[in-house]
């Protein structure tokens, strides 16, 4: 889970939120089912009308807010309610409850825990709570007891060590990171090595699981 700075709430959502929420809550109550959300089109900085998914996706660098996989690498983008709309219908259109989410993370369904970490909460950083292992697993490393508990809850609620995710991370690790960790070949001097590292790093946003690149993974 890569840290994220949430953009300002789109004007269109802010002005329509009350009416959309009323309609949602009514349908939820009348039918006993959880309705789909009717997201308004929003305007980006260039004044173009785009979907809310596109707006969020532009702000996450096309990465899932939870598992950090690159959209398109493993799935489509969808909008997730951190506190599920099934249990919290009044939060269905609340901006701070919405996150960009891949298909895999959507499979968590309506599981939730208010203690789970959020990528946009103050003081959150990946390395405070987690590290990736080169086998693709996510380990909790937080030493503070509360931090540790919240990190463990997050892994469980978001299923961040799901078998497919672990396999995908291992594959990404092999493709993108292993060459950097190999010993220098004779004749490849330090300057050449730093150029090689820069080339590998320059498309950071294009890589899945960006936190691989901001730490020294454990072997
Ligand atoms: Zn995901």
**Which pLDDT score, from 0 to 100, does residue 213 have?**
72
Who has greater pLDDT, 44 or 180? 44
| CA 30 to centroid of ligand 1, rounded, Å | 32
pLDDT at 210: 85
Supply the DSSP symbol for 173. I
Give me ligand 1 centre to Cα 64, in Å. 5
What's the pLDDT at 108? 76
Query: Ion ligand 1 — residues with CB under 5 Å?
Result: 64, 66-67, 102, 105
Does the pLDDT at position 44 exceed 80?
yes
Does residue 5 surpass a pLDDT of 90?
Answer: yes
Tell how far the Cα of 26 is from the centroid of ligand 1, in angstroms.
30
> Residue 197 Cα, ligand 1 centroid: separation in angstroms?
27
What digits encode the pLDDT tens for the residues 24-38?
A: 999 999 999 999 999
- pLDDT at 219 > cutoff 60: no
**Distance from residue 104's CA to the centre of ligand 1 (Å):** 5
Cβ neighbours for 111, distance < 8 A, ≥ 6 positions apart? 84, 157
CB 117 within 8 A of CB 154: yes
pLDDT at 109: 81
Query: Please, which residues bridge with residue 171 across strands?
Result: none
pLDDT digits (tens, 9 = 90+) for 133-190: 989 999 999 999 999 999 999 999 999 999 999 999 998 888 776 665 556 566 666 7
Q: Give 185 Cα–ligand 1 centroid separation in angstroms.
A: 37
| C-alpha of residue 83 to centroid of ligand 1, in Å | 16
Provide the pLDDT for residue 179.
Answer: 60
**pLDDT on residue 35:** 95
Strand partners, 102: 77
Centroid of ligand 1 to alpha carbon of 144 (angstroms): 26
User: Any idea which of 8-17, 107-116, 153-162, 174-183 has the lowest mean pLDDT?
Assistant: 174-183
Pairwise CA distance, residues 129 & 3, whole Å: 12
Average pLDDT, the chain: 87
Percentage of the chain lying above the pLDDT 90 cut: 65
């Amino acid at each position: 889970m890569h840290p994220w700075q949430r953009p300002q709430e789109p004007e269109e959502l802010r002005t329509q939120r009350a009416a959309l929420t009323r309609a949602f809550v009514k349908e939820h109550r009348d039918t006993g089912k959880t309705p789909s959300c009717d997201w308004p089109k929003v305007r980006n900085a260039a004044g173009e009308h785009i979907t809310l998914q596109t707006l969020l996706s532009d702000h996450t660098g096309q990465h899932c807010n939870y598992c950090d996989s690159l959209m398109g690498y493993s799935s489509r983008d969808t909008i997730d309610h951190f506190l599920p709309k099934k249990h919290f219908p009044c939060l269905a259109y609340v901006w701070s409850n919405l996150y960009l989410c891949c298909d895999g993370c959507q499979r968590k369904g309506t599981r939730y825990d208010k203690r789970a970490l959020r990528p946009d909460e103050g003081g959150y950083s990946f390395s405070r709570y987690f590290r990736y292992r080169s086998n693709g697993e996510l380990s909790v490393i937080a030493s503070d007891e509360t931090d540790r508990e919240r990190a463990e809850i997050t892994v469980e609620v978001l299923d961040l060590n799901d078998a497919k995710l672990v396999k995908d991370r291992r594959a990404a690790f092999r493709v993108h990171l292993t060459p950097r960790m190999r010993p220098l070949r004779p004749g490849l001097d330090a300057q050449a090595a730093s150029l090689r590292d820069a080339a590998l790093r320059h498309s950071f946003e294009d890589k899945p699981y960006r936190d691989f690149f901001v730490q020294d993974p454990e072997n």
